[in-house]
C-alpha cells in the first residue's frame, strides 16, 4: 500500500510538471544601457531572477530611457529584486521602474 501511494504521488507530480505554468509580463525602464554590451550585462543579470524566462531590452527613442520587458513564471518580481540581481553592476545601471503589465487569465 505504501508503494502504491508513492507511485501515485510521483505520477501526479510528473503530470503537473508537464502542465504549462502561467506567465507574467513585466515592463520597466533602465538607465545606463547605451550599447549592446550594456544590454547583454543587464539581460544576463535579470535572467538569473527566479522564474524569468525571457528578457528583452529596447533602446529608448531620443530622450527616453531604454525599456525592459520580462516574461516570468513568478507573479512577485520587484524592482528591488531586479536591482539586487545586477550586483556590482548596479552602480552602472539603474532600473528605474518595473511593473507587471499582464497577468494570466486577466
Q: What is the CATH number of the domain that holds 58?
A: 3.30.70.100
C-alpha cell belonging to residue 15: 503530470
Let me know if residue 14 belongs to a domain.
no
Which single residue is written with the C-alpha cell 501526479? Answer: 12
CB atoms within 10 A of CB 65: 18
Residues 91-104: tens digit of each pLDDT: 899 999 999 998 87
Let me know if residue 2 belongs to a domain.
no
Mean pLDDT confidence for 2-17: 56
Let me know if residue 16 belongs to a domain.
no
Let me know if residue 70 belongs to a domain.
yes
Bridging pattern class, strands 67-72 and 52-58: antiparallel
Let me know if residue 40 belongs to a domain.
yes
- Report whether 85 contacts 43 (CB < 8 A): no
Residues 43-57: tens digit of each pLDDT: 999 999 999 999 999
| Range of the structural domain that residue 68 is part of | 21-102
pTM greater than the 0.85 cutoff: no
| Number of domains present in the structure of the chain | 1
Amino acid at each position: 500500500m505504501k508503494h502504491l501511494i508513492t507511485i501515485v504521488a510521483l505520477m501526479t507530480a510528473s503530470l503537473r510538471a508537464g502542465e504549462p505554468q502561467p506567465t507574467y509580463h513585466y515592463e520597466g525602464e533602465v538607465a545606463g544601457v547605451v550599447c549592446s554590451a550594456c544590454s547583454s550585462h543587464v539581460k544576463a543579470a535579470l535572467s538569473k531572477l527566479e522564474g524569468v524566462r525571457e528578457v528583452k531590452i529596447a533602446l529608448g527613442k531620443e530622450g527616453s530611457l531604454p525599456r525592459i520587458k520580462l516574461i516570468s513564471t513568478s507573479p512577485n518580481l520587484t524592482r528591488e529584486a531586479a536591482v539586487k540581481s545586477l550586483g556590482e553592476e548596479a552602480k552602472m545601471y539603474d532600473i528605474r521602474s518595473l511593473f507587471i503589465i499582464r497577468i494570466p487569465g486577466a
